[in-house]
A and B are shown apart, each in its own frame.
Chain A
Amino acid sequence: MTASDALLATTIREESGRLVAALSRRFGDFDVAEEAVQGAVVEAVRSWRRDGAPRNPAAWLTTAAQRNALDLLRARGRQTRAADRLAASGSSPVGNAIDDRIPLLFACCHPALAPEARLALTLRAVIGLTTPQIARAFLVNEQTLAQRIVRAKRKIVATGIRLKVPDDLDDRLPDVLAVVYLAYNEAFVASSGGTHDRDLGADAAWLAEVVAASLPAQAEAWGLAALLRIQHGRAAARFTAYGDLVLLRDQDRSLWDAGAIKRAGEHLERAASLHSPGRYQLQAAIAMCHAEAPSWEETDWLQIVTLYGFLIVEDPSPVVRLNGAIALAQLGPDQAGVALADIERLAPDLDGYHLWHATRAELLRLLGRDAEAAAADQRALALTANEAERRLIQTRLRKHPLIDGS
């Protein structure tokens, strides 16, 4: 990504959601507003790359999006009503609300929408990713994705889902945070190889901070902001120049972004001050233990095992229990045996998950059961779709055992 591309991406990220919200309000049609902004983003990428960025990129986008909206309404034969709406809305300026993106985000993550559509729509409407960018990032068919987005947008309009912050945040905020979390994780998994004109991990971490800053009394929003900020702060050490995945144990910790980790620490303190623990805060606290450790060996595993104990209460999912067992195994050979037993118990849930087999292989090897370990690694390899992870397991089968407790 070049410097001007980065500026372009930041401007689009900053302005898209606000514009969609403002135009939805002005024209009373979310579908038209979203389409208009998307069109403006596509035009901006083309024009700014060709002619350089305009003096006021935000104003450029606003003008283009408004023109597109009017064109769309005209094309749909509704210009009279659009004009009525414009007249009715008076001179309300576009894009000056406190933070328009939050109501928009709640609409895009509405439980009435299919879970797989929420993420795609959020990335498009709230942070201005284009459909091809999303399709590329998540390795999905572009046409399928486009249809999914269209269906979700129509449902928002037809069913009367409003762009608003819901009254019951406890009920709805988890859905929003889950989508932001997923945006980061999907970006992480898919980030090996290929060129990207948007850094999706950075976008997701940024969006988590927008949510937390707008809903400052929500501890889990700060927890997620902390978690994604730490994860993103370690991103530079996660892949080699050849796109090979580097496990936490082997990462060059000098590549970690100390500023990002410090900021994450502040988010985490903010969350803790609200006295309402939750899964994201606990995950962030675990990530913070790693971030503050000078090396894998000098990591405070006891603290991490304790935090996993709390996290498993909040989220007893098999993957969390798997990670808890990995941490436990670091405490010593006795605990490694216990951890292996914990992992074996997860077989019914995780038999199709490559990391379950990879972790099992790791612990079997630690306990000297090399033949079983090799067989488990073979299973892991067979189940891995991601190229970077595939190469990692192949390396391990050739060389030495590796483990990841992150």
Chain B
Amino acid sequence: MKYVLMFTSDPAQLASVSEDDAQAVYGRIYAWFQENAASIADSGAELQPVETATTVKHGGVVVDGPFNEAKEVVGGFSVIDVADMDAAIALARTWPHLELPGVAVEIRPMVEDYSQFE
């Protein structure tokens, strides 16, 4: 099954992490993608910081900032293809960034069977 992993963090909490610690974790993310290549359907993208977000709302209104008011922001996403939810959870748990405070990975199954909409 395919799942989208959404990598999120709370910038306020990350601000307390030392530059060296942040760099050390960041360095392991590349290795993570290599080690798990067989399970990654699409490595996705890393996003520019949340300050760069622009949202278009209902009615075409353009506003500065992300779509919601939450503290947590999406920093990137990847698509994985694994056997089941347990495998998705196991893989998400190894995401190196999770060592840092305020970091979370949201797992969402992708719609793959469009017959339900036919």
Contact = CB atoms under 8 A, between A and B. Distances in A.
Contacts of B29: none
B46 interface: no
A160 B1 contact: yes
Contact of A158 (B86, B89, B109): B109
Contact of B109 (A110, A111, A160): A160
A158 B115 CA distance: 14
B99 interface: no
A382 to B, nearest CB: 38
Contacts of A112: 85, 89
A56 interface: no
Contacts of B3: 160
B84 interface: yes
Which range contains the number of A residues in contact with the other chain?
10 to 19
Nearest to A78: B115
B104 interface: no
A110 B84 CA distance: 13
Interface string A154-190: 0000111110101100000000000000000000000
Interface in B1-32: 1, 3
B91 to A, nearest CB: 13
A165 to B, nearest CB: 11
A161 B88 CA distance: 10
Contact of B84 (A81, A111, A158, A162): A162
Contacts of B109: 158-160
Interface in B51-96: 83-86, 88-89
B6 to A, nearest CB: 14
Interface in A120-171: 158-162, 164, 166-167
Given A160-B1, A160-B109, A166 B86 contact: yes
Contacts of B89: 111-112
Contacts of B83: 162
Interface of A: 81, 110-112, 158-162, 164, 166-167
20 contacts: A81-B115, A110-B85, A111-B89, A112-B89, A158-B109, A159-B107, A159-B109, A160-B85, A160-B88, A160-B109, A161-B84, A161-B85, A161-B86, A162-B83, A162-B84, A162-B86, A164-B84, A164-B86, A166-B86, A167-B86
Interface of B: 1, 3, 83-86, 88-89, 107, 109, 115
6 closest residue pairs by CB, A with B? A160-B1, A161-B85, A162-B84, A160-B84, A160-B85, A159-B109
